[in-house]
Amino acid sequence: MRRALLSVYDKTGIAAFAEELLRLDFELVASGGTAQLLAHEGLPVTPLENLTGFAEMLGHRVVTLHPAVHGGILARRDVPDDVADLETHGIVPIDLVCVNLYPFEKTVSRLDVEWDDAIEKIDIGGPALLRAAAKNHAHVIPICRPTDYARVLAELRGGDVTVETRRELAARVFATTAAYDSAVTRWLSRGLGFPETLVPVLDHALDLSYGENPHQKAVFYAERGARTHLLARVEQLHGKPLSFNNLNDLSAARLLALEFDGPACVIVKHANPCGVGVAGTIEEAYEKALAGDPISAFGGVVVLTRPVSAALGERLAKQFVEVLFAPGFDAVAIEALVQKPGVRILDDGERRSADPSEWDMKRVLGGMLVQERDSGPDPLDGMDVVCGEAAAATWDDLLFAWAIVKHTLSNAIVIVRDGQTLGVGAGQMSRVDAVRIAVERARELGHSLDGAVLASDAFFPFADGPAIALEAGIGAIIQPGGSKRDDDVITAVRDAGATMVFAGRRHFRH
């Protein structure tokens, strides 16, 4: 007769699983609450303390840590010395270990969690049992989640669990315990800065249609422990499967949209904003964003901060949109939009702010670059009007442009007026070229630049960039300042009768 050890916190399906194991001639051994549950269900079960000779102690801190348990798990059946040790000490081999862990992450996610409560939810015996079983998976079946019960039972009914399945179960165990340890590490390290060893945990969230290019396979993994992620509580209402580029653009658009409290529309193409509009209504915000650059908006990702009305849905249905993301859709809007088979419609269940405590991580050759996220508005008291004057409306546009340029690839230049983008120069090696592209793009689209506002994500090292903008009619500039030639730039702007603000902070994005 084979022996199964069951010790689970999440008791979902455990009684039915145990009953099937009995039918397959397993002897059941269980600890604490698991043993009580199985006995209550009328199943024959041996309490774990009968094996160890010790009742649980230290307030349930020590239950399974005993040679009679770990010897039975770790013994190699094909090693004579191991078998002899079992016989010498009267230890019966354990052939199946089913354990799931204390809900540490769920506990520490509560805002009111007490330190001692969190400490007591750090599981010690459970990971030790699982790791022992996984190490010896050639002889022991390791199970760490209820969803594996059916598969294991099916293979046992056929004779035994295959080598391939045992290996997969063992890998899942070590991934589970590694993630568990990482969660404890993150919690204990809160407020201590960057840890000496960073162990991010990512869970498979979605298979993607393809990667950056159709010949590349891709998957979306969600970071464990993040307060939200790109598709958390988001429902896809219509359209083809999402691709790598769809999600990359959606992330860029969502992060920018979170800068605005009122009705706003962000249109992104290749991770850069090509049209942004803010207004009193979401319909007007969309029209502004689209009019900013209707050519680049073709096939873009559209993120809206307000529900899509019937009228707006019909308007959007006339455009080619790759991804449409909004916190709700009118039924008439959906009816119009689903006529477009290509558009992926995503309903945001709950609009949330960005978590400033999250880190940005960028994969590089052989490692990871990690930094604090560049989120939240810059303090107004850190901004200095170095020449000219800024009326209230001008200030609104300066801050609007400054929010957008922070989310535009460097070198970045953004030109706006009245809550609408007019021209964007992004991802250029030369800041002068970025200015020239933004100005020329605005002119090509028929926008007047008289009195418009320009934002630069980093300082102007020379006056040549501002000169191009000023000659085009730009009335105000916002930039970080800090160049050795700031005085030359200020003089050029002042002589043109324009206004310039030093924000005191740079916003490179690569």
Q: How far is 315 from 363, CA to CA, in rounded Å?
A: 39
Q: Is 60 left (phi over 0), alpha (psi -120 to 50) or beta?
A: left
Q: Which phi and psi angles does 222 have, rounded to 5°?
A: -95, 135
The DSSP code for 351 is: -
By DSSP bridging, strand 26-30 and strand 141-143 are unpaired
Token pair 């009619």: residue:
473
Q: Could you give the CA distance from residue 71 to residue 82 in angstroms, rounded to a whole number? A: 9
269 is catalytic: no
Query: Whole-angstrom distance between the N-terminal and C-terminal Cα of the chain?
Result: 62
Among 135, 217, 340, 406, which one carries the catalytic annotation? 135
Which helix (H) or strand (E) covers residue 284, if one does?
helix 282-292
Active-site annotation holder among 215, 270, 447, 507: 270
State which amino acid sits at residue 481: G
Three-state DSSP at 428 gives coil
Q: How many residues does the chain have?
A: 510
Q: 74 CB contacts (<8 Å, ≥6 apart)?
A: 132, 135, 136
Helix/strand/coil (H, E, C) string of 297-349?
CCCEEEEECCCECHHHHHHHCCCCEEEEEECCECHHHHHHHCCCCCCEEEEEC
270 classed as catalytic: yes
| C-alpha to C-alpha distances, 272 to 9, 248, 420, nearest whole angstrom | 47, 10, 15
Q: Give yes or no for a contact between 323 and 301, defined as CB atoms under 8 angstroms apart.
A: yes
Using DSSP's 3-state secondary structure scheme, residue 67 falls into helix
DSSP string, 227-253: S--TTTTEEEEESSPP-HHHHHHHHHH
| Measured CA distances, 422 to 270, 296, 503 (Å) | 18, 12, 21
Residues tagged active-site: 135, 270
